[in-house]
Amino acid sequence: MSLLVTGSLGIDTVETPFGKRDDVVGGSAVYFAYAASFFTPVRLVGAVGEDAPKSFFDVFKGRDIDTTGLEIRKGSKTFRWHGSYVKDLNEAVSVQTDLNILAEQGPRIPPNFLDSKYVFLANSHPALQQQLLSSLKNPKLVVADTMNLWINVERPELLNLLKKIHGLVLNDGEARLLTEKKNLIEAGREVMKLGPKFVIIKKGEHGSLLCIGDEVFVLPAFPADKVVDPTGAGDSFAGGMMGYLATQGTFSPPTIKRALAFGTVVASFTIADFSLAGLQATDRDAIDQRFAAFKSAMSF
């Protein structure tokens, strides 16, 4: 069943110990959509400015990604981000961020997307996330992402959003910031008290943590021997996770655990090269093979 994602589409400049890439395709919705498309059809909602190069849209060729909801806005400029991982591959230093179109009115969801049952609200202003969510008819599963900026300056809007979603994805620092709890298990449980039925806390190279009901599940990162560019790893993780969930008829704890494992495996392909090159170089068979190896490695 189709999975809808809305979030940023951008032009990135990225520096890592392995080199520098200027003006490559980026944005949370782009990484998410590509990753999720290995599992299920994806409906993409987002906006770019008229400065976006035509090659920007070539990345979706051959993928089951419906770009009907992709707006090219006249008079606007595309979101741009320049990040550096030269000092630490685990944490990006934002050299420059130009919100551009992200500071404007959000994109509209096409009428034929309004019946989407699986929805991922990638990182954006929580008021905009709520606005887009309110347009949908009767979604079955809604999961959102957020960031420290919104926790700091838009907490009331974020808290309103949390009451309307089924799951939340955030990193360890954001979980601690939101709940003022140092222990991540405590933090996850505190977030669930705010509304979500389950919470996924990303821990970078240390994997992820799931809180659902009374259960806590910890999954390590895939033991990757090649890390070139971590940009988009978290969004690819979410894409793989939601892509798998959209193919399932249940959202039980065992199903979500498997979804986390698929997300972890997909992210391991993303980090192997710059921008989308790592994902473009793989296929579903390779993902399933790595999933089997990952599952075997977790057995004892």
pLDDT exceeds 70 at position 94? yes
- Percent of the chain predicted with pLDDT > 70: 100
Query: Tokens at residue 214, please?
Result: 């009374």
pLDDT digit string, tens, across residues 125-147? 899 899 999 999 999 999 999 98
Rounded (10°) angle between helices 28-36 and 253-270? 110
Residue 125 has what pLDDT?
A: 86
Q: What digits encode the pLDDT tens for the residues 45-92?
A: 999 999 998 877 789 999 999 999 999 999 999 999 999 999 989 888
Is residue 11 within 8 A of residue 80, CB to CB? The reply is yes
Q: Residue 246: which of 59, 46, 30, 37 has the closest Cα?
A: 37
Question: Which tokens in the block code for residue 41?
Answer: 């059809």
Assigned token pair, 2: 């189709």
CA 43 to chain centre: 14
Q: Which CATH superfamily is domain 3-297 in?
A: Ribokinase (3.40.1190.20)
pTM greater than 0.85 (yes/no):
yes
- Confidence band for 1, pLDDT divided at 50, 70 and 90: low
Average pLDDT of the segment spanning 26-51: 96
